[in-house]
Chains A and B, each alone.
Chain A
Amino acid sequence: MLVSFLQLTASGLAVGMIYALMAVGLVLLVRAVGTMNFAQGDLLTLGAFVAYWLSVQLGLSLAGTVIGAILIFAIFGVLFMLTVFWPVRKSSWPQAITICTIGASTIIKNSMTLIWGSRALNIPPILPGSVQICGVYLEKQYFVIIGVAALIIWGVFLLFDKLYCGRIMQAAAQDKYAATIMGIPTFITIAVTFMIVMCIVGIGGYLVAPLFVVSTSLSRLQLRAFAGVVIGGFGNLKGAVIGSIAVGLIESYSSYVTTTYKDAVVFLLLLMVLVLKPSGLFGNRISDKA
């Protein structure tokens, strides 16, 4: 019993951290841009494919892959912003940005299939092999994921809560007009936000790829990240992280109850949380103004 519990907890935690990385990206984008990014899962997949390209096809070492990946992600982040968000930011219909991200999702997905073919690919894990704890064999990659993801998330908190540039970005996100008056260059802050988000999500893809396969089906993970964001309270970074980890663990533990209807269980729980506490676990009950 303990064995299975440990196994479930470890895998749930690892997967939950990946969801958390995506969720953090989502929250940052919501703050900066105002809408949800439906292409988040595809950005994760892109991260996995880029990592595949660098580490397997080009044969770079770990350091080379990481540095190359971050560079590529940063450039892609800006590209993404310029093509998907910037032209529609002043649109007369606010949902237009959401629809643009849906379009972007299709484009990214199909480009990856056209470039790398449709067969599933494989990346070797950063730390191959598994380690035995209390009679359970846990993959070392789990610990790599949990460690690196935790580091990244701590870095994001640090940036936005403690550092000056983070506070500038928050200001620009909260009220663009006021920020411009104060002399904050909104274009740069939004561009930097996109770059950071892309790097976070891309690295998440690189981390998760050895656990799964490198294929466009990885984008399915975004739904769980959305669930995490919503459970944690919209727009709340801490809540998003905790919510995502919770979703990962619930997903794991739900196999005690049913394996066929696993998706259904996760979403029913999500619905229950929302019905009972509509603003999410950590959401602030900011009353709307008319």
Chain B
Amino acid sequence: MKKFKIGGSLILLVLALFLPQILTNYHLLVLNNTIIYFISALGICMLLGMCGQMSFSAVSFMGLAGFLTAQFSKTYHIHTLLAGVLAIVVTGLVANLIGKALMRLEGSYFTFASIGIVSIFSTLFLNWKWLCSSADGISGVPKLNLFFMTVKDRNQWYYVLLVAAICCGLFVERIRRTHLGRAAASVRDNAIVASTLGVDVYKTKVICFTIASTLAAVSGVMLVYHNSYAVESMFTYDMSVSFTLMVMLGGVNSTLGTLLGSFLMTLLPEALRSFQQYLRLLYGIGIILLMIFMPMGLAGVVESLTAKWRKHLKLKGKGRNNE
């Protein structure tokens, strides 16, 4: 089974490498945006799927890191790669502080506090001149310079984003198998029992929040460099909602599921373009239908199907043995 999984993913990988040859600029752009959002959704997957906390503040940390990197690289003329790393580190520290404050709250309280964070940062992105330069944001952000190449065009971005996404995906998968991952899972399933078993619930939640927000920060830096523009309307509350939906659609505790979910959520509005003003209406109906019929997401559906198939095989095998 595992060999099948690894083999399958390698094949997908090779296919992925050849996509830019067959896709148009527009498709490539949509794909790039999908991968950027996927990285942020990974953070939500960690926080919601692994740790059981629903947060809507990913978009604020995307914005913070994005604006910081724009300021560092454009106004302070710091080398773009260094500016990006610096922005991610600073955002991670800020997220840690905010996480320490927010994680004292339980369940739905925490969710509302995270919505409040989005509101606060949104105001900052429009008004704090040091961070945003003007209400129209920072345009003309220099292109990302990765020493061996400057990432200018959509093809190059695709490969850079692919590498980044794979790294982040593997990173999250790795965490799942560490002590932190198991501690987070125990917090998600039953926080009180977890604390009796010696798990520091508060610290686990804070660490998960910080990691999730750092992933969002990476995503934000990529977004800003990709568009060479950082403005408040790039980081809306609706995006956070769609990240949560991506995770839920794909399978709340599955990295590959989140990838599938990201594709679906980004491709769905594009596919519905012909419906023009009915787009959002159908989108809303789609969400409800998906929750009714696939609450565990696509990964959940796949899992239940494979379980049925395995059971079917087992029964068949048993039948033969009894003969």
Contacts and interface: CB of A to CB of B under 8 A. Distances in A.
Asked if A and B form a direct contact in the complex, defined as CB atoms under 8 angstroms apart, the reply is yes
Interface of A: 35-36, 83-84, 87-88, 91-93, 95-100, 102-107, 109-111, 113-114, 223, 226-227, 230, 234, 260-261, 263-264, 267-268, 270-271, 274-275, 278, 288-290
Interface string B94-120: 000000011011101101110111011
A290 B190 contact: yes
Interface of B: 48, 54, 101-102, 104-106, 108-109, 111-113, 115-117, 119-120, 122-124, 127, 190, 192-193, 196, 241, 244-245, 248, 252, 277-278, 280-281, 283-288, 291-292, 295-296
Contact of A290 (B109, B119, B192, B288): B192
Contacts of A113: 277
A233 to B, nearest CB: 10
A264 B112 CA distance: 14
A93 B193 contact: no
Contacts, number: 122
Contact of B287 (A87, A102, A227, A234): A102
Contacts of A271: 101-102, 113, 116
A91 B288 contact: no
A91 to B, nearest CB: 5
Contacts of B113: 267, 270-271, 274
A240 to B, nearest CB: 13
State the majority secondary structure of interface residues on B: helix
B195 to A, nearest CB: 9
Given A107-B285, A274-B109, A278-B109, 13 more contacts: A35-B108, A88-B295, A91-B291, A93-B252, A97-B291, A103-B284, A107-B284, A110-B280, A113-B277, A230-B112, A271-B116, A278-B105, A290-B193
Nearest to B288: A103
B104 A288 contact: no
A227 B244 contact: no
B287 A106 contact: yes
Contacts of B119: 223, 263-264, 267
Nearest to A290: B192
Contact of B192 (A109, A274, A288): A288
Contacts of A261: 120, 123, 127
B29 to A, nearest CB: 24
Q: Which of A84, A95, A223, A234 has the most CB of B within 10 A?
A: A95
B291 A275 contact: no
A175 to B, nearest CB: 20
A103 B288 CA distance: 6
B104 A234 contact: no
A103 B285 contact: yes
B176 to A, nearest CB: 19
A22 to B, nearest CB: 14
Contact of A99 (B112, B248, B283): B248
State the majority secondary structure of interface residues on A: helix
5 contacts: A102-B245, A111-B281, A114-B281, A234-B108, A289-B192
A2 to B, nearest CB: 30
Nearest to B196: A290
Contacts of A35: 108
A83 B288 CA distance: 9
Q: Which of B116, B120, B244 has the most CB of A within 10 A?
A: B116
Contacts of B122: 263
A106 B280 contact: yes
A105 B122 CA distance: 21
B97 to A, nearest CB: 12
A226 B277 CA distance: 30
Given A99-B245, A102-B241, A278-B105, A93 B120 contact: no
A274 B193 CA distance: 24
A188 B287 CA distance: 26
Given A99-B291, A107-B285, A92 B296 contact: yes
Contact of B244 (A99, A111, A230, A289): A99
B109 A110 contact: no
Given A270-B113, A271-B113, A96 B192 contact: no
Contacts of A99: 244-245, 248, 287, 291
Nearest to B286: A103
A87 B292 contact: yes
Contact of A91 (B115, B117, B280, B295): B295
A96 B48 CA distance: 13
A216 to B, nearest CB: 11
Q: Which of A83, A93, A113, A261 has the most CB of B within 10 A?
A: A93
B104 A278 contact: yes
Q: Which of A96, A114, A271 has the most CB of B within 10 A?
A: A271
Contacts of A288: 192
Contacts of B286: 103
Contacts of B291: 88, 91, 96-97, 99-100, 103
A103 B280 CA distance: 10
